[in-house]
Structure 1
Amino acid sequence: MVAVVYIWILGLLIYPLSYGNKGIEDPTDICKHTLSCSECIKSHPSCVWCSAQSFTQGGESEGSRCATRLELIQRGCDEDHLMDPKGVVQILKDVPLSDNADEDMVTQLAPQKVYLKLRLGEKRTFQVRFKRAEGYPIDLYYLMDLSYSMKDDLENVKKLGSDIQEVLHNVTKSVRIGMNQDHIGWRNVTRLLVFASDDVFHMAGDGKLAGIYIPSDGHCHLNERGEYHNSNMFDYPSVGHLSQILTAANIQPIFAVTSNALPTYQGLSELIPKSAVGELTEDSSNVVNLISQAYNNLSSTVNLEHVNLPKGIHISYDSHCPDSTKEGQPNGQCSGVKINQMVDFNVTLWMDEKMCQDGLQSFKLRVLGFNEEINVDVETVCHCNCEDEEAFSSYCSGTAGNYSCGICSTVNSQRGPGRIHRHHSACWGRLPSSPKKLLGRCIGIYNLVHYEVKDVAVASAGCMNGTVACNGRGKCECGRCACNKHVHGLFCECDDASCERYEGQLCGGLSMGVCKCGTCECTSNYSGSACSCSLDTSTCITPEGICSGHGRCECNKCVCDQGYLNKLCSECPGCQTPCQKYSTCTECQAFSTGLLKDNCSLSCGHVIVTMLKASDWGGKEKEGWCQEKGEDSLITFHVTEDGELVHILVKEKQEIQDHTQQLILGLVLGIVFIGLLVIVLYRVTVEMFDRQEYSRFMKARSQEQWNDAQNPLYKSATTTVINPNFLQE
């Protein structure tokens, strides 16, 4: 309990010092949703705006100005009119790194100031360098548990104070050791806190055992004697609160604890950045070596982190350490860094797609345990360079026309002050004297009042291709069709989203085909109305040929001949095997026997039979050979189909031996033998069971013990009476 109170008091004393990537999207579809240059560049990093005059054609809305750079160039937009602002990184201050701490101004972290201009969704990276300077100053604050069990430790620490300072002098010439910040004054150097205890600590929530439920307020409540006087009012601080205070003050704690409390403080150290734990002997005699080892471990670990990162800005670190490289970390970290050894961190920033903010936003980067910081200023690209409006532009040919980024706009007083409506530039060439006629020509979405039918008819004539304006797929603006998304053409007659779908995608997806004007144009490997038929035949090929020679390959799938089954047409349950199919022809041609012996030449003219002698056969079985029963012999042959011809190799005639009688005799003898065997086994089993029962009976008889006893009702016929007078005689 005392241990945690001292940690808490220390924390209160030092307190005053104190895009992700989304799934891959097609930018071509995203860009078409925007109607201004600023909306275009904010929609996707690949979206570019064309500010050229008269860039849009019939059937195109102003949203077609926003597309990918390649698409706009292919459509004829000059490079000078492409609005594609890119992010920049500028190093504003970069003081060289120092080799030792003897210099007037020690620099271990560079650069010192960075400016970035970020476009939404675009990543920008800059490099941060760090090098440990030799002899960097140290301030050590020793905090001790003053419970009675630590009394002998306190005496040893008093004696070892000079030894601690001597050890730290081996690292740096500038060392200060103190016990209270307000009196010794922390310097802006490496700060070490050594906390010694032989017991575990308390944490937030333990105060409830004493009825204390008010959380720590983060302030120091010490009286004039240096005693904490609100112990019965505020609960213990939480581990997170303590970690926040130590990190904000750039203090690196070293927990020197005895073995019984070591596991607890090891868990605490994992929650506090740049902290170390060491095992303390019962009398604290090893505290000097413990501090030396802990400092070496802490100083060789470099943690780069960000402070006060503005909302909407994302950051990641790539750490290039002496022994490894780590990418995509939430903070930079390297271990085992030696003095005058440089480590590099690549810091990557990107903006949230919906967090476009004007003005500078700032945050800091720092290495835990060191007093240096990097100031980072971030500015967001939210507008195009062409958005400075040209009022009353001659291109717009009107007193109310403002020109910006290739499009004209006007302020419509009839819909409220300052409301801007955008019109296609073709509306602004020759303005009629009558506003009725002007607005009659623009009968699209910007009509504000009703006009005579004849004016409307004249204005809509340019949008008519039949009876429905713009085929019902767009709106008539200024006598021209402004088509809906995925629709184009002078009269919006082509719909690039009305093709057949395969597996939920138009024309099966971009890898299979594209939809153009309602028809799928398939790639070279696909065909069909929805590009769903693959021209590949790889899944139809078998060793026997396409679809095992019993079908055709359509859309990379086998269509089997009648009777054949499975994916490769290799099975035919109702079909004869080649052995069965050609056995009769083989028998009649080779041996002139069988069912076809009378018309063998007519029925088996396509079969060519070759006889094999026993010497050629060699007595070896061969794979794929058939054995069928003939009229009076067993026929062994091999079939090879060659188009319409069939080549058959036949082994010499093998006589069939009749083993019927032997089989019947053997079967009868077997039945008799099995019957006798069953009877014998039954009798043997019964005999063995009887012998066991008899043996058990005889054993029980031998263990019987009968006691002789006289019937108590029995009276003997003879009675003997003894006269006591005659006993002496």
Structure 2
Amino acid sequence: MVGIFILGTFLLYCVGQKQIQGVPQGCVSQPSCSACLRSPGCAWCKHKDFLKSGESSERRCDTAESLRTRRCEQMDIINPRLDPVFLKNNDLSSNSDNVVQLKPQNLLFKLRVGVPQTFNVSFKRAEGYPIDLYYLMDLSFSMKDDLDTIKNLGQDILSALKKVTQKVRIGFGSFVDKVALPYVSQVKAKKNNPCPNRLNICQPAFSFQNILRLTEDVDEFKTRVSDQIISGNLDSPEAGFDAIMQAAVCQSVIGWNNVTRILVYTSDDTFHIAGDGRLAGIFEPHDGMCHLNGTGFYDGTKYDYPSVGQLARVLAANNIQLIFAVTEDSVAAYKALSKLIPQSVVGVLKNDSSNVVLLISEAYSNLSSTILLEHHEAPSDLDVTYKSHCTPEKGDNTHWQRRGECMNVKLNQQVNFTVSLNISTCLKEKQTFSLKLQGISETLKVSVETLCDCDCQDREEQSSHCNEIGTLTCGICSCDEGHLGQRCECERPKDMTSAESMAATCRQDNSSQLCSGHGSCECGMCMCQGTHRGNFCQCDDNSCARHNNMLCGGNGQCECGTCKCNANYTGSACDCSTLTDQCGTVGKLCNGQGTCQCNQCQCNKDFFGINCSKIANACPKFLLY
């Protein structure tokens, strides 16, 4: 059973890979035009005189090539495949009044089940694209030296980022921990001044505070940060997750614009995670909403800490790229965390934060060099895959993947992706989903509909082709009640005796199956299924022997299960050539040391080679003593 499961899984994988690469070969015939369109690789011939007497409607459903071979005119072949409609396709632009980094912007597809369609997507980061940077700082007591350094770094941070763009805004927020035991002492004196000794003065602890919304005013940044004093708490982990959540979802309070958004998180210790709140009796999961009060504070005692999954979702949804600037002792924990949060990087912060400007510059460069294209909210039955075309000199990533991915991309470099869409079922209505680049606000909207019904434009009620007792649609007759046949030419039997008498003419003998089990009996005649034919559907023109996986070796025609070979071929699969040109040598066939069979030499004992011209172990046989 395990072997069967593995084999089945392997086969499904292979089928999936084949469908990704192109339209599946062949066609599984269907009895109606609509069912035919839902069968990958199939087309339908609507010409009313296409079928011979006794052929079933399934014979109208075949590959388009096969239908043409069987003399169905192109105008009568229903095989819809529509190109995508570009609803919005503006060119890439770095113009500050009309920035376009992703092309196209809006597409409409009409898909057939199992028939992939592809389109191209281009991305180029706009030169000088504005940046919003929000600096989120741990204000627990161990970060005292870092606060003194940060007070004078506003201008340096802006200057570093202005090497990339002239439009930069900076904001500032801080965090400590939830004001509850066991995180923060509830003794009144320690709660008011949580410093570890009486020689220092600390502000009371808090979960998160927005100190300065995003601004271009460097002097205001310096003034507001200079007003801050350190705080303290009891345990090592901090409420960093609370702070990240509020900084991300409180869009209007923080002041995020629709630009490149960067959140810099600095700390010298680890973080509390979802579930830790239970230590303080806080059981309610975080709701992912903004809860800042009028003064910018977040009371963290109502909700538990957010989960890693929640943070990943809100950061992605709000196009915020996260830089963890943490001291060396905490790097391992944050690197593990960064693997779970897309568009995040980790940098090693010196103990006094003196290298924070260089760290931000390097981290931003690393974030910008990684381009990840993904789809969101696509229909469950739609398979979306990507090929990435990153750099011409390195070639393309020719494997289909679940997302587009390019690494080490330069700021002014364009990258391209090929996207494949393959639907497995018919959709009831048009559905729309989006393609997004991580950390970029622009989106590509893709709407998909399915082509699952035929519009043959030949409907004719009481058609003469149907003996005026049926409706002609897509070349076939739908007979009025009480009538049967390819052209509604007979009446449906009204009693058992009439039915049995009619069925008797569809059996080769009394003991055989009706229409040999490969068709239905209508009007006393067999209507054969698939590739079967004959008065009793006894012939199958697809059941002959194969050679090299080709019916009759590709050297003959299959007629009723027997290969009729072309000239110069014989054998059950027409796999034996009657020519002898490949056996020829000067004088005799096969050098007189073998026989020519199927145009190949079968050598006698001790001889080998194409023409039996070589002798095995020649020296011992002809050695003279």
Alpha-carbon distance in 2 for matches of 1:77, 1:333: 45
Q: Counterpart of 1:267? A: 336
Contact 2:275 2:304 in 1 (8 A): no
Once the two structures are superposed, the pairs formed by residues 535-550 of structure 1 within 5 Å of their partners are none
Once the two structures are superposed, the pairs formed by residues 249-328 of structure 1 within 5 Å of their partners are 249-323=318-392, 324=394, 325-327=396-398, 328=400
1:365 aligns to 2:435 (yes or no) = yes
Once the two structures are superposed, the pairs formed by residues 3-402 of structure 1 within 5 Å of their partners are 20-22=16-18, 30-32=27-29, 34-45=30-41, 47-101=42-96, 103=97, 105-178=98-171, 179=173, 180=210, 181=247, 182=250, 183-204=253-274, 216-219=286-289, 226-230=297-301, 234=304, 237-238=307-308, 240-323=309-392, 324=394, 325-327=396-398, 328-352=400-424, 355-386=425-456, 389-398=459-468, 401-402=470-471
- After TM superposition, give the deviation of residue 35 of structure 1 in Å: 0.4
Alpha-carbon distance in 1 for matches of 2:23, 2:561: 21
SS at 1:426 equivalent: coil
- Change in Cα spacing, 1:79 to 1:547, as seen in structure 2 (3 Å) is closer
Which stretches in structure 2 are left out of the alignment for 5+ residues? 1-14, 174-209, 211-246
Q: Counterpart of 1:477? A: 522
Contact 2:282 2:301 in 1 (8 A): no
Q: Which has the higher helix share?
A: 1
TM-score (norm: length of structure 1): 0.62
Alpha-carbon distance in 1 for matches of 2:87, 2:446: 10
Q: Counterpart of 2:216? A: none
Alpha-carbon distance in 2 for matches of 1:26, 1:98: 35
SS at 2:153 equivalent: helix
State which structure, 1 or 2, has the greater radius of gyration over its C-alpha atoms.
1
SS at 2:128 equivalent: coil
- After TM superposition, give the deviation of residue 140 of structure 1 in Å: 1.1
SS at 2:397 equivalent: strand
Alpha-carbon distance in 2 for matches of 1:541, 1:211: 95
Contact 1:471 1:492 in 2 (8 A): yes
SS at 2:472 equivalent: strand
Q: Which has the higher contact order (CA 8 A, sep 6+)?
A: 2
Q: Counterpart of 2:541? A: 496
SS at 2:418 equivalent: strand
1:519 aligns to 2:562 (yes or no) = yes
Alpha-carbon distance in 2 for matches of 1:349, 1:43: 16
Alpha-carbon distance in 2 for matches of 1:380, 1:49: 17
Alpha-carbon distance in 1 for matches of 2:39, 2:95: 49
Alpha-carbon distance in 1 for matches of 2:23, 2:256: 56
Contact 1:100 1:136 in 2 (8 A): no
Contact 1:302 1:333 in 2 (8 A): yes
Q: Counterpart of 1:725? A: none
Contact 2:272 2:305 in 1 (8 A): no
Q: Counterpart of 1:625? A: 623
- After TM superposition, give the deviation of residue 88 of structure 1 in Å: 1.6
Q: Counterpart of 1:450? A: 495
Alpha-carbon distance in 2 for matches of 1:326, 1:52: 45
SS at 2:465 equivalent: coil
Contact 1:87 1:381 in 2 (8 A): no
- After TM superposition, give the deviation of residue 247 of structure 1 in Å: 1.0
Alpha-carbon distance in 2 for matches of 1:263, 1:278: 11
Alpha-carbon distance in 1 for matches of 2:355, 2:285: 37
Alpha-carbon distance in 1 for matches of 2:359, 2:312: 22
- After TM superposition, give the deviation of residue 86 of structure 1 in Å: 0.7
- After TM superposition, give the deviation of residue 368 of structure 1 in Å: 1.8
- After TM superposition, give the deviation of residue 523 of structure 1 in Å: 6.8
TM-score (norm: length of structure 2): 0.71
Name the amino acid aligned to 2:421: L
Name the amino acid aligned to 1:319: S
Contact 1:97 1:108 in 2 (8 A): yes
Alpha-carbon distance in 1 for matches of 2:544, 2:169: 79
Give the aligned CA root-mean-square deviation in angstroms: 4.3
1:426 aligns to 2:421 (yes or no) = no
- After TM superposition, give the deviation of residue 448 of structure 1 in Å: 5.5
SS at 1:44 equivalent: coil
- Aligned mate of 2:531, from 466, 486, 493: 486
Name the amino acid aligned to 2:27: I
Name the amino acid aligned to 2:354: S
- Percent identical among aligned pairs is 45
Contact 2:593 2:607 in 1 (8 A): no
Which stretches in structure 1 are left out of the alignment for 5+ residues? 1-18, 415-420, 429-437, 440-446, 581-623, 628-729
For these two proteins, the number of residue pairs brought into alignment is: 526
Q: Counterpart of 2:472? A: 403
- After TM superposition, give the deviation of residue 56 of structure 1 in Å: 0.9
Map Cα deviations across residues 87-113 of structure 1 (whole Å, 9 max, x no partner): 321111122322243x2x322222221
- Change in Cα spacing, 1:44 to 1:424, as seen in structure 2 (3 Å) is farther
- Change in Cα spacing, 1:237 to 1:382, as seen in structure 2 (3 Å) is same
Contact 2:260 2:440 in 1 (8 A): yes
Map Cα deviations across residues 512-545 of structure 1 (whole Å, 9 max, x no partner): 7664213134577964335576879999999xx9
